[in-house]
Amino acid sequence: MRMRTASAANTRELQQRHNFAQVRKIIQDQDMWERIPLAFRDFSPLHLEGLVKFAYFAGFISLGEARQLLLLDKTEIKPKLRQWYEEIREQGCWLC
């Protein structure tokens, strides 16, 4: 059982790394990579979310694509979107 959990975690991290590279390419293809803070240019789950949030609000990806890139269920994306709007209201965004 413990081995399956570790395997699932490894599989999830590999998928997250792949998705990070994918959304990074989307942003680079739009010539907007320079807007990404240096701290967010290396992979971590938090940085993946930051890139996806940026790509979504910049109009580079749809909400469905954001959900898929973050490996979220359909029910998990709406609360995440509300969280993002709150963060942008409080902290601003990389587009501004």
Confidence at 96, pLDDT banded by 50, 70, 90: low
**Does the predicted model carry a pTM greater than 0.85?**
yes
Catalogue the long-range contacts made by 79-82 (C-beta closer than 8 Å, 24 or more residues apart): none
Q: What share of the chain is helix, strand, coil (3-state, %, to 5)?
A: 75, 0, 25
Confidence grade of residue 3 (pLDDT, cut at 50, 70, 90): low
Of all residues in the chain, what percent carry a pLDDT higher than 70? 95
pLDDT in tens, 50-92: 999 999 999 999 999 999 999 999 999 999 999 999 999 998 8
Crossing angle of helices 74-91 and 45-57, rounded to 10°:
80
